[in-house]
C-alpha cells in the first residue's frame, strides 16, 4: 500500500495532462497488483479460519478499506479520468478502455469523490465500518454454525437416515473423539437429516438450532448474535446513499445494474409472485394432504416439510436423491463436467502439471487449454465441507486476465469453493444431483472469469459485469445436468462403473419440477425481503428487520415459519456477500439463462456453433458490452420470462 500511495502521488501531479498510457495504465498496474494480494488474503479468511488469521485479517481489512476509500475519493485521479473522457483520445481507445474510463468516473462518484467537508469524511468512515460489520456478520455465522451439533448414541435415533448420512456422522464423531454419531449444522449433514430422519422431535431440534444461528434465540442465544450488526449495516447503508443524494439505498445500488430503477425490480418480482404463488399453494396443499393420509391427525410443521416432501417425491416418482448419489462420485462428475465444457466451448481442462502451495490437502488445482492447446486459465477447487470453512458455494477472482505494461498476458486464475460431503472410509465423495447442479453453477462462474478475452482488468471476466447479469453463465450451465447426453458423461456408479440407468434418469427428470412453485416463491420471498429492507426509508425507526420480514411473508410466502425463526441472521448474501438490494439477480439472470439454453434445445445440446456463439458473445466479453445487447447478439431477440416458467412447469 505504501508503494501504491507513492505512485499515486506521482500520478496526481500529471492528472491535468492525463492520457491512457501515462496515467490509466500505470494506475491499473499498481491496483491490479494489490488486488491480487488481497484476493488471496480474503480467500484464506473464508476457507481456513483461525484465531490468528482472524486477528490478522481484521487488522488488514481496516487498512484495505481505508486505502480503497482514499483512492475512490482522490480528486486528482478523478480529474485525470474526466480529462481523458473529454479529450480526443477517448475515441481512439478500444471499447474496453473506453468502458474502463466510464466505469471509473461513475465509481469515483459512487465512492463520494464529489462530497465536501464533513460529509466526505463521514462517507469514508461509513465504508470502513461497513467492511468490518460485514466481516463480523460472517464470523458470527461461522462460529454459530460450528458451535452446535447433535450427538446421538442410540441407533434407534438414526431411523430413516440413509447410509451416506450415517457414515458421515460416524466419521464426524470419530474425528471429535466421541462414541456414536455427530450431526453438525453444515449443509452436508443438516439437509439429509431434515429430509430423511423419521424422528420428528430430533428434526425439530435440528431445525431450531439451524434457523436461530447467530441470533437472539435458540440453544446459543445471544452468543454470536447478528441482531445489532444487521441493524447497523442497514443504518449505515441508508446514510451512505443519502450522503450521495439518493432517497434510499436501493437507488444507489441499482446505478451499476441492468435494472436501473427499484420500480423495475419491484414490477419484475410482483409479476413472478402473481404468476407462481398459486402453484406454491397447490404444492403445499398436496403435501399436507399426503402427510395426513400417511399419518392421520398430523399437523404439518415447518420442520416436517423436507421430510414429508421427500416421502411424497418417493411416492409420486419412485425416486430419491439418495438413489442417484452412488452414480455421481466426484472424480467422475468432474471428468464429465470438463468434457461438457470441451464439447461446448472447445477447451480442455486437466490437472495442472505442478500443484502450487494450497491451504488444505483437499484443495485441487487445474488448468484450461484453449483451442490452440495453450494454457489460458487455471483454477483452484476446494469442495469438501469442514470446520472453520465458510458455508455455501462460491467463485472468487484470484488473478484476473491482464495485459501487463511489458505487453505480456497474465493468465486468469479462479477460486471455486463448495461444501460437499467428504469421502468416507474408502468411498469417494458421492454427490446428490443437487450437488452436481451446484458444481456446474460455480464452474459456470469460473468460466465467465477465466475465458474472457478482455485485457483491461477493470472489465475483464466478471469485473464490470452488472450484478444482475453475473449469474447468467452459472445458471446457464446447470441446464446440462438434466440432459441424458450430458448425464452419460458425468455419471458412473462408483463400484460397478454403470452409467445412470435410463429408468433412473427418467425418474430424475420427472421429479425436476417437483414443488417448483414452493421453491420459486421461497426465492421470491428472499428477493422481496431484500428489496424492501433497502427501500424502507419511509419506515425508518418504525419497522424492525423482523417486522419487514413478517410483512413480506404475509404478502408473498405460503409457508409461515414459527416465531423463533431467525432466517435473516444468516442471510449472508445481503449482509456480507455483495447481494444487498440485489438478491433479485438470481431470478433476473435465471430468465436470461433459461432463454439462452432455449437455443440449444432448438439447435442441439452440443451444437458447436451455439457453443461458440455463447463463448464469443457472452463469456469472452467481460464487462465491456451491455448485457442485454450481448444476449440479443447470442439469441437474436430480447429475453422472455415465459421460457423460464415453462422449464419450471409453472406456465399457465
Q: Catalytic residue among 442, 492, 525, 617, which?
A: 442
Helices marked H in 73-116 — which ranges? 75-86, 89-92, 95-110
- Contact call for residues 484 and 286 (beta carbons, < 8 A): no
Q: In which band, very low, low, confident or very high, does the pLDDT at 542 lie, cut at 50, 70 and 90?
A: confident
Residue 538 has pLDDT above 80, yes or no: no
- Contact call for residues 503 and 335 (beta carbons, < 8 A): no
C-alpha cell at 156: 434407534
Q: In which band, very low, low, confident or very high, does the pLDDT at 297 lie, cut at 50, 70 and 90?
A: confident
Angle between helices 227-243 and 117-146 (to 10 degrees): 150
- Contact call for residues 331 and 339 (beta carbons, < 8 A): no
Is 114 a known active-site residue? no
CA-CA distance, 624 to 620, in Å (whole number)?
Answer: 10
Q: In which band, very low, low, confident or very high, does the pLDDT at 540 lie, cut at 50, 70 and 90?
A: low
The three-class DSSP label of residue 45 is: helix
Residue 5 makes CB contacts below 8 A (sequence gap 6+) with 67, 70
Average pLDDT for 232-246? 97
- Contact call for residues 473 and 585 (beta carbons, < 8 A): no
- Contact call for residues 88 and 159 (beta carbons, < 8 A): no
Average pLDDT for 1-20? 97
CA-CA distance, 358 to 308, in Å (whole number)?
Answer: 42
Taking only the tens place, the pLDDT of each residue in 194-222 is: 999 999 999 999 999 999 999 999 999 99
Residue 80 makes CB contacts below 8 A (sequence gap 6+) with 11, 14, 15, 16, 18, 23, 24
pLDDT confidence of residue 541? 56
Residue 235's alpha-carbon distances to 117, 130, 247, 577, in angstroms, are: 21, 10, 13, 17
Q: In which band, very low, low, confident or very high, does the pLDDT at 651 lie, cut at 50, 70 and 90?
A: confident
**HSE-up of residue 76 (Cα within 13 Å, Cβ side):** 14
Q: In which band, very low, low, confident or very high, does the pLDDT at 543 lie, cut at 50, 70 and 90?
A: confident
Residue 112 makes CB contacts below 8 A (sequence gap 6+) with 69, 72, 73, 119, 120, 123, 124, 243, 244
H/E stretch holding 331 reads: helix 330-345
Matching residue, cell 474472457 = 452
Query: Which DSSP symbol is given to 405?
Result: T
CA-CA distance, 440 to 473, in Å (whole number)?
Answer: 10
Angle, CA 329 vertex, CA 328 and CA 335 arms, to 5°: 90
- Contact call for residues 606 and 612 (beta carbons, < 8 A): no
Q: Of 445, 451, 525, nearest to 477 (Cα)?
A: 445
Taking only the tens place, the pLDDT of each residue in 469-507 is: 999 999 999 999 999 999 999 999 999 999 999 999 999
CA-CA distance, 546 to 562, in Å (whole number)?
Answer: 12
Strand 394-399 and strand 375-384: the pairing is unpaired
Q: Give bridge partners of residue 365 from the DSSP assignment.
A: 380
CA-CA distance, 633 to 638, in Å (whole number)?
Answer: 9
Residue 372 makes CB contacts below 8 A (sequence gap 6+) with none
Residue 32 has pLDDT above 60, yes or no: yes
Residue 356 has pLDDT above 50, yes or no: yes
Average pLDDT for 362-389? 96
CA-CA distance, 549 to 619, in Å (whole number)?
Answer: 36
Taking only the tens place, the pLDDT of each residue in 445-460 is: 999 999 999 999 999 9
Residue 576 has pLDDT above 50, yes or no: yes
C-alpha cell at 256: 451499476
Q: What is the DSSP string of 142-206?
A: HHHHHT-EEEE--GGGGTT--HHHHHHHHHHHHHHT-SSEEEESSHHHHHHHHHH---HHHHHHH
Amino acid at each position: 500500500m505504501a508503494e501504491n500511495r507513492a505512485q499515486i502521488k506521482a500520478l496526481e501531479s500529471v492528472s491535468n495532462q492525463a492520457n491512457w498510457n501515462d496515467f490509466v495504465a500505470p494506475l491499473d498496474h499498481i491496483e491490479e497488483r494489490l488486488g491480487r494480494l488481497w484476493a488471496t488474503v480474503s480467500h484464506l479468511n473464508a476457507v481456513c479460519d483461525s484465531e490468528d488469521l482472524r486477528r490478522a485479517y481484521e487488522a488488514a481489512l481496516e487498512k484495505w478499506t481505508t486505502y480503497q476509500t482514499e483512492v475512490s475519493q482522490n480528486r486528482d485521479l478523478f480529474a485525470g479520468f474526466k480529462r481523458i473522457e473529454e479529450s480526443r483520445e477517448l475515441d481512439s481507445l478500444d471499447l474496453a478502455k473506453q468502458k474502463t474510463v466510464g466505469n471509473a468516473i461513475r465509481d469515483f462518484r459512487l465512492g463520494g469523490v464529489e462530497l465536501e467537508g464533513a460529509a466526505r469524511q463521514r462517507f469514508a468512515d461509513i465504508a470502513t465500518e461497513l467492511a468490518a460489520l460485514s466481516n463480523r456478520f460472517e464470523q458470527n455465522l461461522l462460529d454459530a454454525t460450528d458451535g452446535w451439533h447433535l450427538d446421538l448414541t442410540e441407533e434407534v435415533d438414526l431411523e430413516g437416515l440413509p447410509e451416506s448420512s450415517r457414515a458421515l456422522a460416524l466419521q464426524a464423531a470419530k474425528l471429535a473423539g466421541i462414541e456414536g454419531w455427530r450431526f453438525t449444522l453444515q449443509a452436508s449433514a443438516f439437509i439429509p437429516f431434515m429430509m430423511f430422519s423419521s424422528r420428528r422431535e430430533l428434526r425439530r431440534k435440528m431445525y431450531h438450532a439451524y434457523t436461530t444461528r447467530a441470533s437472539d434465540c435458540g440453544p446459543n442465544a445471544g452468543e454470536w448474535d447478528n441482531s445489532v450488526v444487521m441493524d447497523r449495516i442497514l443504518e449505515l447503508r441508508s446514510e451512505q446513499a443519502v450522503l450521495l443524494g439518493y432517497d434510499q439505498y436501493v437507488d444507489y445500488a441499482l446505478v451499476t445494474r441492468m435494472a436501473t430503477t427499484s420500480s423495475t425490480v419491484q414490477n419484475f418480482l410482483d409479476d413472478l409472485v402473481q404468476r407462481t404463488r398459486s402453484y406454491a399453494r397447490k404444492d403445499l396443499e398436496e403435501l399436507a394432504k399426503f402427510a395426513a393420509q400417511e399419518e392421520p391427525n398430523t399437523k404439518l410443521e415447518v420442520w416436517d416439510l423436507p421430510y414429508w416432501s421427500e416421502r411424497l417425491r418417493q411416492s409420486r416418482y419412485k425416486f430419491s436423491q439418495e438413489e442417484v448419489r452412488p452414480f455421481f462420485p466426484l472424480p467422475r462428475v468432474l471428468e464429465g463436467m470438463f468434457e461438457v465444457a470441451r464439447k461446448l466451448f472447445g477447451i480442455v481442462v486437466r490437472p495442472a502439471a505442478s500443484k502450487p502451495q494450497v491451504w488444505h490437502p483437499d484443495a485441487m488445482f487445474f488448468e484450461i487449454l484453449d483451442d490452440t492447446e495453450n494454457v489460458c486459465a487455471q483454477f483452484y477447487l476446494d469442495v469438501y465441507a469442514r470446520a472453520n470453512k465458510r458455508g455455501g458455494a462460491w467463485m472468487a477472482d484470484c488473478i484476473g486476465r491482464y495485459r501487463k505494461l511489458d505487453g505480456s498476458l497474465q493468465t486468469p486464475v479462479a477460486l471455486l469453493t463448495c461444501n460437499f460431503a467428504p469421502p468416507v472410509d474408502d468411498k469417494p465423495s458421492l454427490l446428490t444431483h443437487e450437488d452436481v447442479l451446484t458444481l456446474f453453477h460455480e464452474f459456470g462462474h469460473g468460466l465467465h472469469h477465466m475465458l474472457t478475452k478482455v485485457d483491461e482488468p477493470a472489465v475483464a471476466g466478471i469485473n464490470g459485469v452488472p450484478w444482475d447479469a453475473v449469474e447468467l453463465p452459472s445458471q446457464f450451465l446447470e441446464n446440462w445436468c438434466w440432459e441424458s447426453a450430458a448425464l452419460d458423461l458425468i455419471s458412473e456408479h462408483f463400484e460397478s462403473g454403470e452409467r445412470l440407468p435410463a429408468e433412473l434418469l427418467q425418474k430424475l427428470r420427472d421429479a425436476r419440477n417437483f414443488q417448483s412453485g414452493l421453491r420459486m416463491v421461497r426465492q421470491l420471498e428472499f428477493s422481496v425481503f431484500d428489496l424492501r429492507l433497502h427501500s424502507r426509508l419511509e419506515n425508518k425507526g418504525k419497522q424492525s428487520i423482523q417486522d419487514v420480514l413478517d410483512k413480506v411473508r404475509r404478502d408473498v410466502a405460503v409457508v409461515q415459519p414459527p416465531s423463533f425463526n431467525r432466517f435473516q441472521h444468516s442471510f449472508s448474501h445481503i449482509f456480507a456477500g455483495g447481494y444487498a438490494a440485489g438478491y433479485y439477480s438470481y431470478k433476473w439472470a435465471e430468465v436470461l439463462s433459461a432463454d439462452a439454453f432455449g437455443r440449444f434445445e432448438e439447435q442441439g445440446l452440443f451444437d458447436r456453433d451455439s457453443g461458440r456463439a455463447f463463448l464469443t458473445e457472452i463469456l469472452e466479453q467481460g464487462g465491456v458490452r451491455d448485457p442485454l445487447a450481448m444476449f440479443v447478439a447470442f439469441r437474436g431477440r430480447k429475453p422472455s420470462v415465459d421460457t423460464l416458467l415453462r422449464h419450471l412447469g409453472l406456465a399457465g
